[in-house]
Structure 1
């Protein structure tokens, strides 16, 4: 998988979720289209590399997506090793790659996605795991909602 492919998809997800500029269903539709285009571009890049390296290109993993320039499988830790580089190149604060999982789940919950759907998204076998980890987000969003309602009501009562 080319580094550029990873970077494009990561930045799109990061910005879309952090800014909350799109409804979740539209966001997911766009993600699917972007990933599809990125996969097509990666396949074309692999074909170019195969042509450039000729007999030196490894044909053992031709059906794989995540290969390096000579067709060998990339190391399993490639993404997490290169994640800090993506952050630095884009002027973003340092976080662990795994933190994206928590950020995604927290943002989904804060935007009304049901805990059961988040459990399935994360692959937790038990809803209790998801609830235990993310219940603070749910209670925080309830607190913010209550504060917003209180503020609205206090503004309304002073206007009368």
Structure 2
């Protein structure tokens, strides 16, 4: 992770194999990737890095962290058990007063929000590390009702000749005449 440049490089994954958590290569070639980080994430990751260094110092000889470069670990440097991550995330949702979702659902939310903001499907696919745009768009994105409503409001404006987009004429040609 390069916090100066704001780039996260995904080189490994944590996977349970035979009851044991192991660091493994990502599932596919596309899963190994570089992702630009928004400034909010960089700030949070800097704080996480400082906390991890403090944990390492406090643990002393009991630090079990390795050179694997894990960003999030337990207080003694071991990988976080996925079940514990999910429990912690659920507690965080409750404290924040937001709807409970699975931690994995954050990938779907990210894809959908990027899509709503006009991000290109290929870019979303690359951020998520998918090998197929179809998987990204068919499984990972959803359209919220308020986005549908907003889009239909814009269609209504266009039909009434109230559009403010590039190339708008005075409305005298009428959209309905062209249909």
| TM-score bucket (shorter structure) | 0.5 to 0.7
Counterpart pick for 1:107 among 113, 128, 140:
113
Query: Structure 1 residues 118 and 61 mapped into 2: Cα distance closer, same or farther (>3 Å)?
Result: same
Query: Structure 1 residues 77 and 114 mapped into 2: Cα distance closer, same or farther (>3 Å)?
Result: same
Considering fraction of residues, name the structure with more strand.
2
Q: 1:35 deviation in Å?
A: 3.5
Instruction: With the length of structure 2 as denominator, give the TM-score of the two structures.
Output: 0.53
1:132 and 2:99 correspond:
no
Q: 1:92 deviation in Å?
A: 1.0
Provide the secondary structure at the position in 1 that maps to 2:100: coil
2 CA distance for matches of 1:60 and 1:101? 27
1:86 and 2:88 correspond:
no
Counterpart pick for 1:75 among 60, 81, 103:
81
Counterpart pick for 2:52 among 26, 29, 46:
46
Q: 1:42 deviation in Å?
A: 3.3
Taking only aligned residues, the RMSD between alpha carbons, in angstroms, comes to 3.6
Q: 1:125 deviation in Å?
A: 0.9
1 CA distance for matches of 2:132 and 2:149? 26
Q: 1:152 deviation in Å?
A: 5.5
Query: Structure 1 residues 114 and 84 mapped into 2: Cα distance closer, same or farther (>3 Å)?
Result: same
8 Å Cα contact 1:61/1:73 also seen in 2: no
1 CA distance for matches of 2:147 and 2:38? 28
Q: 1:52 deviation in Å?
A: 3.1
Number of paired residues?
127
Q: 1:141 deviation in Å?
A: 5.7
Q: Which moves more between the two structures, 59-68 or 114-123? A: 59-68
Q: 1:93 deviation in Å?
A: 1.5
Unmatched tracts of structure 1, length 5 or more:
1-27
Q: Deviations over 1:81-109 (max 9, x none)?
A: 31111111111121222222222212221
Q: 1:70 deviation in Å?
A: 2.3
Counterpart pick for 1:61 among 66, 72, 79:
66
Unmatched tracts of structure 2, length 5 or more:
1-34, 163-170, 172-179
Considering fraction of residues, name the structure with more helix.
1
- State which structure, 1 or 2, has the greater radius of gyration over its C-alpha atoms: 2
2 CA distance for matches of 1:135 and 1:53? 42
